[in-house]
Structure 1
């Protein structure tokens, strides 16, 4: 089995799954392992969501937000620079709301507002010329524990392994915010190499035969910059995630994991 890394390249299914499209915007279900756009830090990569979507629909696209490479789910693009500018103004004022589902270690609290400033973590190469002493930025994530499971399998000093499925609503957009916030309350995401529990990660990969980061960008809500209509875009979790959830004793239908309220 391959080592767990954020740079694991999981070949996406072609063509990309288009979740929403109108004359101004388009959204896809980004596979885990696919970069949003080209990066000199990943020179060996040949597939990127931005270029793949451009080739698939035959026109340029403009990403409106980001998803970490190992995260799957809703990724929204504009179909023109003008539409991107209008959306950017709206989103900078909090006009986009995003929902994630995260599989984490342990029994997470039923509900919590994580309000912890995060100091930007700079890359030695990409951020060589960036300001090195930036103060921590405000960061807030509202979480709600949806499901819990325990397996009678000893791991380390514990007689069983415990998991929670947590609904996360980030109120700010800091880098790796959900991953860092969940680690901060001792419930790291499963298969998170940089912010997780490596012992748990390797157990999970071997036991469930799944090595991807268990973080899913399931929903995006925004007021359409042109029509002012409330748009809701949902991405399915997929059969591999549902197979894991079934083994944890949880529902196996996508509808069971839909957002209950906005």
Structure 2
């Protein structure tokens, strides 16, 4: 049986490093999937688990599960009150500014199957993301017709809000789409990474979590290293 990487665990909660490509739980939009983080962790721990938040299927990284419904409720309240600090890393197309804030409201993205009964006329919701450029590289490959070389940036992202696909949509909005994003990205760069780096995933990872322990009140600060694929373009 496959084992999930446990980053933190006590009698009240568990935090895993979810692999890219793994669904958090069963979904009608991926009826062919056979593995789910929630079920795998339940089997691994031998007890019920309660997902507190979600990560998109192609996004890897830190994911919190409560070990009781009461703890899940408390942690959900922290999330709603924006008391949980999340940090992500991504590889994006182009040279990003040294730092900045994207304040761009987003209309909810609805799935035809999973959101068939949802209101399609909802107003745009406020969405704010802070970003910081960590590394830049220019590679001697012609990926687009306009340029003989191609540029990429490694960025740190900290969302203030938690809208669906917020980071992917915000980076696409400022014309620096995340590599590997098949919905909001640039297919030419996605293909280049598949062919040149054998990279077949979305280069977005949840790498940091800070929150207050729901029972002790202690500050929990978790960090995980970047997956190897994020370093490949910058190894010159």
Normalised by the shorter chain, which TM-score bucket?
over 0.9
1:165 aligns with 2:154: yes
Is the contact between residue 28 and residue 75 of structure 1 (CA under 8 Å) also seen in structure 2? yes
Deviation at 1:246, TM superposition (A): 5.0
Please state how far the C-alpha of 1:238 moved relative to its aligned partner: 2.9
Instruction: Say which of 119, 127, 131 aligns to 1:143.
Output: 131
Structure 2: tracts of 5 or more residues without a match: none
Q: CA deviation at 1:99?
A: 0.2
3-state SS of paired residue (1:182): helix
CA deviations over 1:218-250 (Å, ceiling 9, x no partner) = 0110011211111011223233434x1553x3x
CA RMSD of aligned residues (A): 1.2
Task: Give yes or no for contact 1:224–1:230 (8 Å, CA) kept in 2.
Answer: yes
Give yes or no for the alignment of 1:209 onto 2:198.
yes
Contact 1:73/1:236, CA 8 A, preserved across alignment: no
Rate the CA distance shift 1:160–1:245 in 2: closer, same or farther, 3 A.
Answer: closer
Q: Is 1:52 matched up with 2:52? A: no
Deviates more, 1:25-34 or 1:35-44: 35-44
Name the structure 2 match of 1:226: 215
CA distance in 1, matches of 2:210, 2:152: 28
Partner in structure 2 of residue 186 of structure 1: 175
- Normalising by structure 1, report the TM-score: 0.87
Distance 2:5 2:170 in 1: 30
Which one of the candidate residues 38, 49, 59 is aligned to 1:61? 49
Tell me how far apart the structure 2 counterparts of residues 116 and 94 of structure 1 sit (CA, whole Å).
18
Following the alignment from structure 2 to structure 1, what is the Cα–Cα distance between the partners of residues 116 and 228? 41
1:88 aligned residue (72, 76, 92)? 76
Matched, 1:238 2:194: no
Counterpart of 1:256 in structure 2 is none
- Aligned length, in residue pairs: 235
In structure 2, what is the equivalent of residue 24 of structure 1?
Answer: 12
SS in 2 for 1:232: strand
Q: Which runs of 5+ in 1 are unaligned?
A: 1-12, 250-262
CA contact (8 A) 2:27 2:114 kept: no
Determine the C-alpha separation between the residues in 1 that align with 2:234 and 2:89.
16
TM-score of the aligned structures, taking structure 2 as reference length? 0.96
Distance 1:129 1:198 in 2: 31
